[in-house]
Amino acid sequence: MKVLRVISILALCTALAAGFAGCGGGGGGGSSDSGSANSPAQSQPAQGGPPPVVTSVGNLGIALVPSDPQEDNAAGGNPTSVLQVVHLFDANGNPLARPTVSSMVYNGVGDLDGAAMTPGGAYGVMVDGANDNLFFFLVQNGRASAFDAPLGVGTYGRDGDSIVITSSGDEAIVSLDDNVHLLLVSGIASGNPKPAAYIMIPDYRDGVVLSADDKVLLARGPGGLTVFAVNPASPAQGPLGGTVSHNFTQTADIPALGTSSAEGQGRDGMAISPADSSRAVIITNGTSSTVQLLTGLPGNPTQSEPVSVNQHVYSVAVGPAPGDLAIVGTDKGLLMFSGVASGTLTQVGPLYAPAYSLNGRNVTLGMITTLGLTLDGKYAVVCDFTNSALLIIPVSAKGFGAPAGILPGISVPWSDEMLVH
């Protein structure tokens, strides 16, 4: 049976004032976490539901990095997955030279795949493709603690691949490796999540992304990219039991924008502009690797001329307002493109692949399988699959700066699944 993991990311500013600065926003808003890297968080006993919800907590300054399954001898050889909660900034909002990380270890859980959080960072959701546990948990001072509440969804599909959440936090859309539908789950904010309805698709769509304004849903798989217009609706009981508060209307299906196996799960090579939901950047590998702009979303999607690149592409993110920059992770470093807002993508500077010191040895930035941008757009947070490291890299309209923070020894997922808040 496959499942959803629902995360309640609560960072109560009043409760955490002594250890979590910058709750109102700012350049990253971190905490002065004195713990060492890879410190395991302590899971709490089952609570029968999530803790109380806080709707807005500002910029958390964290990255959630799900690991690929590993064999854990302590668990009798059962597959083990880890959710790594990386704390990126100090109390003044400056990047930590060595970010800290706490880990939630799930023995016997074989596959953590995608995560999403509400814009305020109050709570979020994670999909798991190989187990039937669901977790609510708190994040305090860069560490996580769990509240267990199981929700099995194995009867609705198999192998959960990706998930997105509406800005209210009450509804989630999930890819469950089913060739005819996505699954809508509701009731998350109330602590009583239930499957609510199906969203029909032409074929398998492993990756889903939702715009920040809840107006556009993109679903992508090997057979194409499907565009949905999302509109609020009067809350009503859905055919699967939960409450439906949005309608999802397919406006287009574009077979030419299907993925190769390189993008896989998570965001599947898609990024909608947070400044303008009518625009999205799509990366594709095939006979050549390309970066392409999709405009006119959701009603009149129009493809720009694809820009060919010499590297294999794996991950993509678009910056906040003015929403003109796109950052692309390749097999040999980072690329930057301007023109998301203007409609014509142009590469900014050469491939960024600096040498950096990692545990006393010099390495070169390698395969960037997952990345994200901080909410203010000042830093790219990138996972270097080649060197098992996470880096905090300054970003401006002119290009990239020298790495401001480096975390070695992190487990990097193969797909673009990391979530930065």
pLDDT tens figures, 148-186: 555 677 777 777 778 898 988 889 998 887 889 999 998
Residues 147 and 277 in one domain: no
| Over residues 364-391, mean pLDDT | 96
340 token code pair: 């998301």
Q: Please give the average per-residue pLDDT across 296-302, as a whole number.
A: 97
Q: Residue 120 has what pLDDT?
A: 67
| H or E segment and range at residue 172 | strand 171-175
- The radius of gyration of the chain from alpha carbons, rounded to an integer in Å, stands at 20
- Residue 279 in domain: yes
% the chain with pLDDT above 70:
73
Rounded to the nearest angstrom, the gap between the alpha carbon of residue 84 and the centroid of all alpha carbons in its chain is 13
Token pair for residue 101?
A: 């990380």
Out of 100-109, 225-234, 243-252, 340-349, pick the least confident. 100-109
More confident residue, 342 or 115: 342
Decide which of 135, 152, 169 is a domain's last residue. 152
Residues 278 and 144 in one domain: no
Instruction: State the average pLDDT over residues 124-134.
Output: 61
As a whole-number percent, the residues of the chain with pLDDT over 90 amount to 53
Which of 90, 123, 152 finishes a domain?
A: 152
pLDDT value at position 41? Answer: 33
**pLDDT, average across residues 313-322:** 95
Interval 87-116 mean pLDDT: 82
Q: b vs e for 116-143, b when ≥16 Cβ sit within 10 Å of the residue's Cβ?
A: bbbbbbbbbbbbbbbbebbbbbbbbbbb
Q: Which of 134, 71, 161, 158 is nearest to 107 (CA)?
A: 71
- Is 245 within the bounds of a domain? no
CATH number, domain of 292, equals 2.130.10.10
In a domain, 168, yes or no: no
pLDDT at residue 95 greater than cutoff 70: yes
CA–CA distance, 150 with 162 (Å, rounded to integer)? 18
Contact 293, 345 (CB under 8 A): yes
| 280, 297 contact by CB (below 8 A) | yes
Name the domain count of the chain: 2
Residues 62, 371, 333, 338, CA torsion sign: negative
Show which of 112, 134, 152 is a domain's final residue.
152
What are φ and ψ of residue 342, in 5° steps? -80, -25
Is 164 within a domain? no
For 156, the 3-state DSSP assignment is: helix
Asked if residue 347 belongs to a domain, the reply is yes
Q: Does one domain contain both 143 and 288?
A: no
**How many angstroms separate the Cα of 167 from the Cα of each of 36, 154, 164, 190, 272?**
33, 26, 10, 14, 15
Decide: 2 and 159 in contact? Cβ < 8 Å: yes
Contact present, 182 and 199 (Cβ < 8 Å): yes
Q: What are phi and psi of 269, to 5 degrees?
A: 75, 25
- Give the pTM: 0.86
Query: Residue 19 pLDDT > 50, yes or no?
Result: no
- Provide CB contacts within 8 A for 323, sequence distance 6+: 273, 274, 275, 276, 279, 340, 341
Beta strand ranges found along 43-133 (DSSP E): 62-66, 70-71, 79-89, 95-107, 112-117, 124-128
Examine the pLDDT at 7 and tell me if it is beyond 50. no
Report pLDDT for 178: 82
135 lies in some domain: yes
**Residue 118 maps to a domain:** yes
The region of weakest confidence among 88-92, 102-106, 117-121, 133-137 is: 133-137
Q: Which domain holds residue 353?
A: 269-413
| Per-residue pLDDT at 56 | 53
Identity of the residue numbered 279: R
Beta carbons of 295 and 232 less than 8 angstroms apart: no
Write out pLDDT tens, residues 64-91: 888 755 433 334 445 667 778 899 999 8
CA distances (Å), origin 282, targets 20, 152, 294: 36, 32, 7
Write out the DSSP string of 53-70: P-S------EEEEEPPPE
Q: Give a yes or no: residue 344 inside a domain.
A: yes
48 to each of 6, 51, 193, 344, 410, how far by Cα in Å? 13, 9, 12, 51, 32
B/e letters for 179-217, b = 16+ CB within 10 Å, e = fewer, are: eebbbbbbbbbebebbbbbbbebeebbbbbbbbeebbbb
CA-wise closest residue to 330 among 355, 365, 362: 365
